[in-house]
Structure 1
Amino acid sequence: MLSTWTFMKRFARSPAAIGSIVPSSRFLVTRMLESVDWQTTDHIVELGAGTGVITAAIDAQRKPGSTFISFERDDDMRHELNARFPDVHTHHDAFLLPDVLANHDLNSVDCVISGLPFANFDNQQRHALFSDIHAALRPGGVFIAFQYTRLLQPYFLSVYGRYECKRVLINIPPALVYFCTKQ
C-alpha cells in the first residue's frame, strides 16, 4: 500500500492534482459514507480515489453484485488500486465519466463519491465535471464530496436546490463534506 510519505511526495510534485498533503482520515471517510443506504445502492462511482482509503471503505460496505467504478489519475496509485481491489473498475480520467458509464452499460448511478480537489480546477473543467456528475445520477441519487473550502456552495445550491454540509475537524486539513441529492 502506498505510504503517507509517498502520498506527501506526490502532493509536493503536483498539489493541484492531489489536493491534500496526506490521505483522508478515518473520521472523514466515516462522515462521507454514513448516509449512503448500501442496501439500495447498486451503482457507485468514486472520483479521485488516491491511495484507496475511501475505496476500501466503499468496497467493504457495498452489497454483493453492485457495480463500483473508481477514477484515479495518478498511474501508480491506480495500478495499486487495481491490485488491491480486483472487483472495482478503475479508470484514469474522471472527465470521461459519461463514456465510462456508457461502456459499462449504465444510464445512471445511485451514488457519486468524490475526493477531487474541485477548487483547483478552472471554471470550465469544474462546470463540465459537475454537469456530468449531475447527469449521471438517477433521480434521488446522491453526490457526496469533501472539500476544504466553501467555494462550491453556490453551485450546490443552484443545481441541487439544497444540500447538507458537515465539518470534519479531525482531518488534515479539516474538511467540509457536502451531501447533495438529485431531485
Structure 2
Amino acid sequence: MYLSFVSQYLVKPRTVGAISPSSKYLASKMVQDIDFSASSYIVELGAGTGIFTDQLIEKRKKGTVLLVIEYNAAFYKHLKEKYQDVEHCYVVHGSAEKLSFYMEQYHLPYADAVVSGLPFASLPKEMATQILAVVQESLRDKGKFITFQYTNMKKRMIEDFFPKVKVTREFRNLPPAYVFCCMKK
C-alpha cells in the first residue's frame, strides 16, 4: 500500500496531502483522547490507508458505529475491501462536505468523535471552512474533533469553530505532525 500511497500523492497531492502514510505513533496519538466507553458514533474523514481506522475499530466498544468517508477513489476501494466484514463499519466514497447527508443515510444522530486526516493546509479556504462547520454541527455537546496537520498554519481557522483546542506534537511521524484535539462546547 505504501507505493500506492506515494503514487496517489504524486497524482493528487491536494487530496492526499503527504508523501508517506501516517505512522502508528501518530495513529495512537490521534485516538488517545476519545472516550471509547462513552462513544456510540464515530466518524473518520479522509481515512487514506486506514491506519487511524484500525485503531478506531480496535478500541471502540461493541456496537459503536464507525462511519468512514474517503474522497480518493483508490483509497476508498482499498478501505471498502479491507473493512467489508467489520460489523458496524461503513465506508463511503464521498466528500467530507456532505457529512450531514452521510450521517443521515447511515442513521447517525450525532458524532461523539470525528477523526480527520484531511489536509486542511492544501484545501481551498471555502471548502475547509465548510467542512469545519459541518463537523462542528455534527458533534454532540462535548464531542471531540481530532485532526492533524504538518504546521500550525490552520490553527486559527480551526479555533474559529472550536475555541478549546489542545495541540500536541508527534515527532515519530514523517514529517512530524501537530495533533489538534478540539472539543465542542
TM-score, normalization by structure 2: 0.94
2:133·2:161 contact (CA, 8 Å) conserved in 1?
A: no
Query: Which residue does the alignment assign to 1:103?
Result: 105
1:63 equivalenced with 2:61 (yes/no)? yes
Please state how far the C-alpha of 1:156 moved relative to its aligned partner.
Answer: 2.9
Greater shift, 135-144 or 66-75, is seen at 66-75
1:27·1:168 contact (CA, 8 Å) conserved in 2?
A: yes
Deviation string 1:130-183 (CA, Å, 9 cap, x unpaired) is 000000000010000000111221123332222100001111111000000000
Say which SS state the counterpart of residue 145 (structure 2) adopts.
strand
Cα separation, 2, equivalents of 1:24 and 1:53:
7
Alignment of 1:27-176 (within 5 A): 27-86=25-84, 87=86, 88-92=89-93, 93-176=95-178
Cα separation, 2, equivalents of 1:54 and 1:38:
14
Cα separation, 2, equivalents of 1:58 and 1:170:
20
Q: How many residues align?
A: 181
2:171·2:177 contact (CA, 8 Å) conserved in 1?
A: yes
Please state how far the C-alpha of 1:32 moved relative to its aligned partner.
Answer: 0.8
- Of 13, 16, 21 in structure 2, the residue corresponding to residue 15 of structure 1 is 13
Cα separation, 2, equivalents of 1:106 and 1:80:
24
Please state how far the C-alpha of 1:105 moved relative to its aligned partner.
Answer: 2.2
Cα separation, 2, equivalents of 1:134 and 1:66:
20
Greater shift, 71-80 or 39-48, is seen at 71-80
Cα separation, 2, equivalents of 1:106 and 1:55:
18
Cα separation, 2, equivalents of 1:105 and 1:10:
31
TM-score, normalization by structure 1: 0.95
Q: Which runs of 4+ in 1 moved over 6 A?
A: none
Say which SS state the counterpart of residue 33 (structure 2) adopts.
coil
User: Which structure 2 segments of 5+ residues have no match?
Assistant: none
Cα separation, 1, equivalents of 2:47 and 2:161:
24
Say which SS state the counterpart of residue 144 (structure 1) adopts.
strand
User: Which structure 1 segments of 5+ residues have no match?
Assistant: none
Please state how far the C-alpha of 1:107 moved relative to its aligned partner.
Answer: 2.5
